[in-house]
Amino acid sequence: MNFKMKMNEYGWNEYFNTCWEKIYGIKWSDADETLVEHCPARIVSDHGKKMKLVTPYGEVLGTRHANEQILEQQMAAGDWVGVMMINGYTEAIIQNVLPRQTKFSRAAAGIEVKEQVVAANVDTIFLIQSLNKDFNMKRLDRYLVGAWESGALPVVVLTKADLCDDFEAKKAKVEDAAPGVEVHVVSNLTGEGIESLRKYFSVGKTVALLGSSGVGKSTLVNSLMGEIVLKTQDIREGDSKGRHTTTHRELVKLSCGGMVLDTPGMRTLALWEADEGMEKQFGDIEELIKTCRFNNCTHDNEPGCGIRKALNQGVIDAVKWESWKKLQKEMRFLDAKKSHKIRSMEKQSVKKYARPMKSKTVARDY
């Protein structure tokens, strides 16, 4: 039996193999080509009840095992899962989700305080903005915090260079705001800069594309493929906003090796966790705060405020400072909501625990 797909080409590595061994008691190897029922698979796209998976036996549809834990577990495109092949190796039952090496999460929309994993196990994250109407430094700060937090390497990609006269100035602004982050200017129309992105797509590596609708994420996948594999659509004339053309996250294997995870444009990115990300993106600001004379400095007009001094001297950028304040406030609010949720869950579990005890006593009395 020849395996159709080599999992290494889809990003399988020593990290996942060690996780695999802990669950299955033996390392996964496709070298000996023995027919096995249990094998690793990667989620290509999530279609609700069914997931498209890439397995050693080819691309198949998978369903979750009817175990409560698996039914409730969050799964996302890019996740590595342990499956049992059924129906002559044409379908799969998902039995385990392997611990993620990296994950880009956001707070799910809606009233429930919940994490939503947007991209799992990606090596690089392209934070995409277009150089015409979409360019926004505060939004970029937010995405950079999320990307640093994910554990993957952030790279900024500015698209639609053909529609912008001053892209050098915008590029310099981003480089200033994100030291150490590579910034690429590209045009899907003229092909400018596309080749400079190839280095991120070596065999087994995954790049996620994140950004607002209409910035050209799916078009970039088509540019990299050299053919149309994903649907794209014109942005709206009136306000230059995208039309939310891509509706689900999907992993695409490029012919040159490497994979790309295209995602639907995000309206807003509500961060889920940000401690490390904030430190990475705003390290200079966090250091300056330590220099304020008063511990409880509000950085408005207290004497000896390190932030005010830095702002006046142009050491830090006013936009970046605004970003920090906004994100800091947002994360404090989210932390309060998370603690509230934990407390109410604890209360519920106390009630749950109390109930059977009570009914047992009642049962005995009768």
Restricting to residues 171-190, which ones interact with ligand GTP according to CB under 6 A?
A: 187-189
Exactly one of 233, 309, 330, 337 binds ligand GTP (CB under 6 A); that residue is 233
Q: Which does 144 bind (CB under 5 to 8 A by kind): Zn ion, Mg ion, ligand GTP, none?
A: none
Burial classification of residue 77, based on how many CB atoms lie within 10 Å of its CB (0-12 exposed, 13-18 middle, 19 or more buried): buried
How many CB atoms sit inside 10 A of residue 325's CB?
13
Give the footprint of Zn ion on residues 302-321 (CB under 5 A): 305, 307
DSSP 283: H
Q: How far apart are CA 107 and CA 283, in angstroms?
A: 23
Q: Is residue 194 near ligand GTP by the rule CB under 6 A? A: no
Which residue from 159, 206, 281, 323 is in contact with ligand GTP, where contact means CB under 6 A? Answer: 159
Name the H helices within 187-293: 217-225, 275-281, 283-289
320 binds ligand GTP (CB under 6 A): no
Which residue spans within 169-299 are E strands per DSSP?
Answer: 182-185, 206-211, 250-253, 259-262
**Residue 242 makes contact with ligand GTP by CB under 6 A:** yes
* Region of 140-148, 176-184, 235-243, 249-257 interacting with ligand GTP (CB under 6 A): 235-243
Between 183 and 289, CB nearer to ligand GTP = 183
Least separation, in Å, of the C-beta of 134 and ligand GTP? 9
Tokens representing residue 279 in the block? 């430190």
Pairing mode of beta strands 91-97, 80-86: antiparallel
From 158, 235, 274, 305, residue interacting with ligand GTP (rule: CB under 6 A): 235
Closer CB to Mg ion, residue 231 or residue 341? 231
# of chain residues touching Zn ion (CB under 5 A): 5
99 touches ligand GTP by CB under 6 A: no
Sole binder of ligand GTP in the list 102, 246, 281, 323 (CB under 6 A): 246
Torsions phi, psi of 319, nearest 5?
A: -65, -40
Q: Least distance to ligand GTP from the beta carbon of 258, Å?
A: 19
Kindly provide the b/e burial profile for residues 290-305, where b requires at least 16 CB atoms within 10 angstroms of the residue's own CB. Answer: eebeeeebebeeeeeb
Q: Cα(163)–Cα(177) distance, rounded to whole angstroms?
A: 23
**162 binds ligand GTP, rule: CB under 6 A:** yes
If one asks whether residue 265 binds ligand GTP (CB under 6 A), the answer comes out as yes
Residues 6+ apart with CB under 8 A from 121: 11, 42, 78, 79, 80, 100, 101, 102, 103, 206
Give the footprint of Mg ion on this chain (CB under 5 A): 217-218, 245-246
**Distance between CA atoms of residues 35 and 252, nearest Å:** 26
Instruction: Give min distance, CB of 244 to Mg ion, in A.
Output: 8
**Contact pick of 100, 106, 142, 299 for Zn ion (by CB under 5 A):** 299
Radius of gyration of the chain (CA): 24
Q: How far is the CB of 216 from ligand GTP (least distance, A)?
A: 3
Q: In the chain, which ranges are E strands?
A: 38-47, 50-55, 58-64, 80-86, 91-97, 103-107, 115-120, 124-130, 153-159, 182-185, 206-211, 250-253, 259-262
HEC per residue, 55-77: ECCEEEEEEECCCHHHHHCCCCC
- As measured in angstroms, the least distance from the Cβ of 118 to Mg ion is 14
Tally of CB atoms within 10 A around 310:
20
Q: Which of 117, 157, 292, 316 binds Zn ion (CB under 5 A)?
A: 292
Does 297 bind Zn ion (CB under 5 A)? Our answer is yes
Of 226 and 304, which has the nearer Cβ to Zn ion?
304
CB-wise, 82 or 214, nearer to Mg ion?
Answer: 214
Binding site for ligand GTP (CB under 6 A): 159-160, 162-163, 187-189, 213-219, 232-235, 242-246, 264-265
Binding site for Zn ion (CB under 5 A): 292, 297, 299, 305, 307
